[in-house]
Amino acid sequence: MKLAEKLGVPQISTGDLFRHNISAGTELGIEAKKYLDAGDLVPATLTNALVDSRLDDEDAAAGFILDGFPRSVEQAAALEEMLRKRGLKLDAVVEFRVPEDELVQRLKGRGRADDTEDVIRNRFKVYRDETAPLLDHYSAELKTVDAVGSLDEVFARALQALGK
């Protein structure tokens, strides 16, 4: 959120979009909840439609930060089409790198119902299988940021990686 504020663009988080739809009891939210509760990825078609719709909002016209999307090569292809039809291109992809054990502690400390250790460990497996290949896919745009440290330290590293 701090990065989005600094850059003057909205942060579009698929997690937030799903939680909003789940709490609102929308059809998409009910369907997404089944997958999220198990620690699995929500099917690409549901996620893609949600993100595509959000990119139409006026506040995203001058730019945006996507958080949690894309999470697979299939979603990356969908994102490329979303951007193409709007005449946009991807400026950068930022990977915030944190050791797995530290991530487990951070996630368990959030206090969310879906952040049990089993669900978290399953998320890591899904990440390795589905999301890690994006690092190669986006190698030309990739900026890796060491995300161990205080929020201010990580924020400064992210700005530096983005040349801001």
Q: Binding site: residue ranges?
A: 14, 19, 40-42, 68-71, 75, 110, 112, 123, 149
What CA–CA distance (Å, rounded) separates 48 from 141? 21
CB-based contact 32:22 (threshold 8 Å): yes
What CA–CA distance (Å, rounded) separates 31 from 25? 10
Question: Hunting for tokens 């909002």 — which residue is that?
Answer: 57
Binding residues for ATP: 110, 149
Tokens at 11, concatenated:
């942060």
Q: Which helix (H) or strand (E) covers residue 16, if one does?
A: helix 14-23
What CA–CA distance (Å, rounded) separates 87 from 98? 34
Residue 145 pairs in a beta bridge with 96
Binding residues for AMP: 14, 19, 40-42, 68-71, 75, 112, 123
